[in-house]
Amino acid sequence: MEHVAVLPKMSRARAERETARRRALDKRMTAEAAVQMIKDGDHVAIGGTLYSRTPMALVFALLAQRRRHLTVSRPLACYEIELFASTGALDRIVSSWVGIGLPWGLPPIFRHYTERGEVAYDEWSHLAMGLRYKAGAMGVPFLPTLTMLGSDLAVRLDLQTVTCPYTGERLAAVPALNPDVALIHAHRADMFGNVQVDGYQHMDVDMARAARTVIVSAEQIVSPEQIAARPDQTMLPHFTVDAVVAAPHGAYPHECYGRYGPDLQHFDAYAAAAKEHGPAAGLRYVQENADPGFASFLAQAGPDRLAALAADAQELMPR
Amino acid sequence: MSDVTAEELMAITASRLLADHKVVFAGVGMPLLASGLARHRHAPHLTIVLEGGIIGTSLRPGKLPISTNEMRAAYGAQMLTDITDIFLYAQRGFFDYGFLGAAQVDMYGNINTSVIGTMEHPRVRLPGTGGANDIISLCNEVLIVTQHEPRRFVERVDFVTSPGYLSGGDSRVRAGLINGRLGAVVTDLALLDFEPASRRMRLCGLQPGVTVAQVREQTGFDLLLADDINELTPPSAEEIAEYRELRDGPVLETL
């Protein structure tokens, strides 16, 4: 691996991939064990988007570790960003949007840290986020696109352009993003890390293929035969995955397509506390909900609440 | 008519601009409601696309999504794909309309959803662009819908999150934005467009009972006037009823 350090960035990402093959072994472990792969200063990409299929069991396990100097990237970031900031874990956000949604107003803890310059926010367009992961996943250093041009976003990020060698047209050159770790929540996985998802995929496939280390939590651990029975549903093959964590309701209080809807009342309570107490509310939320472990968090929500959210999701499924 | 809210007036006016058999890339809130209303009325074959990777959603009255990336947004959809893919359809030219709101918009249609103040000294750090920058850069025609007030209609936006016609003339194309054009701006006071040479915002229609002077008063820059400024048709009782049902759900009959 010694030669790797002197290679240009893209070749380095490739060389790391070549030398760090994942063996076809049983990769099951607890969330607590899996997040030990994440170090201070790492770039952690969080799968799903906003309050959909967020790998919350993994996020909570990571929050409980109180890592420092993390960069967190996500297509649209929800309030987990505020939790990382409130516990002093966060240096930088790479995203296109931060908040819960219109009814909850501007996110106060996000404002607290970004307005003081204590947390940096690299604001890319939503497509640019997708193309950055995609370039990383494709093994190329950038992708050309016709978005972001002419904007102050491009100026602020020092976004470069490239001239098409065939037509002479000018395009934005969006740089590859290769996160150190990607956290993904899925519907089903086998012990080797073959991963299946129902519904929309967000940016999870490109995010995972771009990342150096991939931790997957799943609603259900299924047999390899069950995966092979529907190979068209497989989103990631086993050799892209490092760890598999069994996590039923692992996206709660966010939604998981077809399984359960979002817990909007939970968001209301969080947003009200954040508005009143700022970062102290974020820290308290982590202490009360993440530190005791995800099983205890689900027990607090209670089986009735979880059943009602499952019924919400069922009502919206195609039939 | 007198009890129509500003929001209802804007959404109904905007819905009339959407033609049948077209594809609209809508955000949540008013753009989605206006698109849903158009489908219920004159444009049953209008396809609504949402950035969560959702194509052809059917809205359930009273159960509209809060995010473009959730199950309610996917209800009745014809196709689910990923987020990047949706924007690449836009880049290819499949989306006839892009539909945006605006915290701040200027005389050239540039939109700011990033910061009030400067990035170095922000007064308010806003959530960010989301897909707005991509929608205005890549959709064939962009519609902007927002409340008409001086703090929103400013001479220059603090930060160009989503580029409209930049500094006017051909500056948008010169910046490399070869796709898309800005169509209408719909407000609770007026219907506006962009004058073809200067690309400056131009008043072309008035909401019922509104005067040119009132619109000017609520605009933080010098507005161009079209040669022929019409009064817009007031919302009909049916439009209002259908809009409210879509937003709030079916009205329960009380005996």
| Average pLDDT, rounded, for chain A | 96
Q: What whole-number distance in Å separates Cα of residue A178 and Cα of residue A208?
A: 9
Q: In this complex, is the C-beta atom of B233 within 8 Å of any C-beta atom belonging to chain A? A: no
User: A10 versus A181: which is more confidently predicted?
Assistant: A181
Over 80: is that where the pLDDT of A181 sits? yes
Is the pLDDT reported for residue A224 higher than 90?
A: yes
Residues of B in contact with A186 (CB under 8 A): none
Cβ contact (<8 Å) for B82 and A152?
no
Q: Which CATH class is domain A37-141+176-306?
A: alpha beta
What is the model's pLDDT at position A162? 98
Query: Looking at residue B83, what is its pLDDT?
Result: 98
Place B12 in a pLDDT band, splitting at 50, 70 and 90.
Answer: very high
Which of B33, B50, B55, B82 to substitute to test the interface with A, most A CBs within 10 Å?
B82
CATH number of the domain where residue B19 is located: 3.40.1080.10
Residue B255 has pLDDT above 60, yes or no: no
Between positions 57 and 86 of B, the ones with CB within 8 A of A are 66-67, 69-72, 74-76, 80-84
Annotated catalytic, B51? yes
The pLDDT score that the predictor gives to residue A4 is 64
Sorting pLDDT into bands at 50, 70 and 90, what band is B118? very high
Does A126 contact B129 at a Cβ distance shorter than 8 Å? yes
Closest chain B residue to A254 measured between Cα atoms?
Answer: B70
Tell whether B1 is covered by a domain. no
- Given a cut of 80, whether residue A2 has pLDDT beyond it is no
Using pLDDT thresholds of 50, 70 and 90, give the confidence band for residue B2. low
Contact between A102 and B179 using a beta-carbon 8 Å cutoff: no
The pLDDT score that the predictor gives to residue A21 is 75
Please report whether residue B30 resides in a domain.
yes
Which chain A residues are Cβ-neighbours of B84 within 8 angstroms? 127, 130-131, 133-134, 203, 206
Asked if the C-beta of B116 comes within 8 angstroms of chain A's C-beta atoms, the answer is no
Interface residue B199 vs chain A (CB under 8 A) = no
CB contact under 8 A, A202 and B52: yes
| pLDDT exceeds 90 at position A161 | yes
Q: Which pLDDT score, from 0 to 100, does residue A270 have?
A: 98
Check CB contact under 8 Å for A151 and B160: yes
The residue type of A269 is A
The percentage of chain B sitting over the pLDDT mark of 90, rounded to a whole number, equals 91
Q: How confident is the model at residue A14 (pLDDT cuts 50, 70, 90)?
A: confident
Domain for residue B254, yes or no? no
Q: Give B-chain residues touching A253 at CB under 8 angstroms.
A: none
What is the 3-class SS of B109-155, one letter each residue? CCEECCEEECCCCEEEECCCCCCHHHHHHHCCEEEEECCCCCCCECC
Q: Is the pLDDT of residue A192 over 90?
A: yes
Could you tell me if residue B253 is inside a domain?
no
| ipTM computed for the complex | 0.96
Check residue A1 and give its pLDDT. Answer: 46
Domain span at residue B97 reads: 6-248
CA-angle at A60, arms to A58 and A61, nearest 5°? 65
pLDDT in tens, B64-92: 999 999 999 999 999 999 999 999 999 99
Q: Is residue B255 part of a domain?
A: no
Q: Looking at the predicted structure, is the pLDDT value of residue A297 above 90?
A: yes
pLDDT of residue A20: 81
Indicate yes or no: CB of A127 within 8 angstroms of CB of B87: yes
pLDDT score of B1 more than 60: no
Chain A residues with CB under 8 Å of B160 CB are 150-153
pLDDT at A17: 86
What is the average pLDDT across A185-205?
Answer: 97
Average pLDDT over residues A232-258: 97
The answer on pLDDT for A306 being more than 50 is: yes
pLDDT the model gives residue B253: 58
Q: What angle do CA B45, B51, B57 make, to 5 degrees?
A: 35
Mutation site for A-interface testing, chosen from B7, B25, B49, B83 by largest number of A Cβ within 10 Å: B83
B71 with A313: CB under 8 angstroms? yes
Rounded to an integer, what distance in angstroms lies between the CA atom of residue B106 and that of residue B156? 5
What does the alpha-carbon distance between residue A250 and residue A254 come to, in Å, rounded to a whole number? 9
| CA dist., res. B123 & res. A231, Å (int) | 51
> pLDDT band at residue B254, thresholds of 50, 70 and 90?
low
pLDDT above 90 for A51: yes
Distance from the B4 Cα atom to the nearest Cα atom in chain A, whole angstroms: 22
| Domain count within chain B | 1
Partner residue facing A126 (CB), from B67, B87, B179: B87
Contacts of B230 (CB under 8 A, 6+ apart): B204, B205, B206
Q: Where are the domains of chain A?
A: 37-141+176-306, 144-175
- Say if the Cβ atoms of A202 and B28 lie within 8 Å: no
What string of DSSP letters covers chain B?
-TT--HHHHHHHHHHTTPPTT-EEEE-TTHHHHHHHHHHHTT-TTPEEEETTTEES--PPTT---SSTTSHHHHTT-SEE--HHHHHHHHHHT--SEEEE--SEE-TT--EE-SEEE-SSSEEEE----TTHHHHHHHSSEEEEE----TTTB-SS-SS-SB-SSTTSTTHHHHTT--S-EEEEEE-SSEEEEE-TTT--EEEEEE-TT--HHHHHHT-SSPPEEEEEEEEPPPPPHHHHHHHHHHHH-PPPP--
CA distance B241 to B161: 36
B124 touches chain A (CB under 8 A): yes
Residues of chain B found within 8 Å of residue A99, distances taken between Cβ atoms: 127
Chain B segment 92-111 residues within 8 A of A by beta carbon are none
* CB-based contact A96:B129 (threshold 8 Å): yes
The verdict on a CB contact (< 8 Å) between B177 and A152 is no
* Partner-chain contact A318 B114, CB within 8 Å: no
Flag whether B142 is in a domain: yes
Averaged over A81-104, what is the pLDDT?
Answer: 97
Identified catalytic residue from B7, B8, B51, B120: B51
Task: Nearest by CB to A153, from B81, B90, B161: name it.
Answer: B161
Predicted pLDDT of residue A5:
65
